[in-house]
Structure 1
Amino acid sequence: YAMENGFANDMSAATFLPELTNTNALGYLSIIIFNFTGFEVICTFAKDMENPTHDIPKSIILGGLTIGAIYLFAGFGIGAAIPADSIDPDYGMIVAVQTMVGDSVLFKVICIAFLITLFANMAAWSFGVNSVA
């Protein structure tokens, strides 16, 4: 999208650093922390693993890196497609995808894939909680 239409925002290195003087920026810290919750659920399956002392740290590190990469990729894509002052805090990702691909079949496929990931996340959490219970 950015190659064809250009970046919607300034993508210089300085723009990727938070403004710590702005009190609203601190509110995003809780969102960032929430985005990284869930990958620790693997610990509930320690009794079912052959080598939990090796597998748990490995899964937490790989999970954290994967989560970070996905959020950076999605955040960069949204920043490339939507001007910062136009990003809807509730529908930012959906609006960004719709801006990039239009109201096409691809948009519907991406929305369905997103719903499947939400269902998979819910199932993973349910398995973790049921394992503890």
Structure 2
Amino acid sequence: MAVVQASVAGRDVRVWALTIRPREIGHWREAVADLLRDWRAREEVIALGEHGVSELLANVLRHVDDPRCSLRVSRTRRDLLVEVLDRSCRPPRVGLRPHWSAECGRGLWLLREMVDDLGYMPTPYPAGEWPSLGKTVWFLCRSVLPEEPN
């Protein structure tokens, strides 16, 4: 697992390259929770970050043939952005209000209801590393982190 850390012009970023396995989702929830605690986030923001990471990584396991992905968590001033980059160009499906007895389809819908913004974007990869196109699924929470110390 490669970890990249950067702090550039008011922006903190952590990136993990990983191969996700079902038993490891809890580890990544805790890694994000620890980072958010370092950033002095409130407990409800930490819980939201954990939930969102679980949902995005579980979707990689469920819907992407290749479990290699990247998890990126960043802050810009008071905003929190969480992204998962995977090797499938198939867009995530977030429909209207799901039927609560359905086997799937509730996770991204619920996450979308809890955050300020949820989306995806096609993401190209450098030649030779991964297929030429994958996607990044992300969620944004605005003004949820304390001001950074000067």
Common fold by TM > 0.5: no
Return the structure number with greater relative CO, CA threshold 8 A, min gap 6.
Answer: 1
Q: TM (normalized to structure 2)?
A: 0.34
> Which one has a larger percent helix, Structure 1 or Structure 2?
1
> Which one has a larger percent strand, Structure 1 or Structure 2?
2
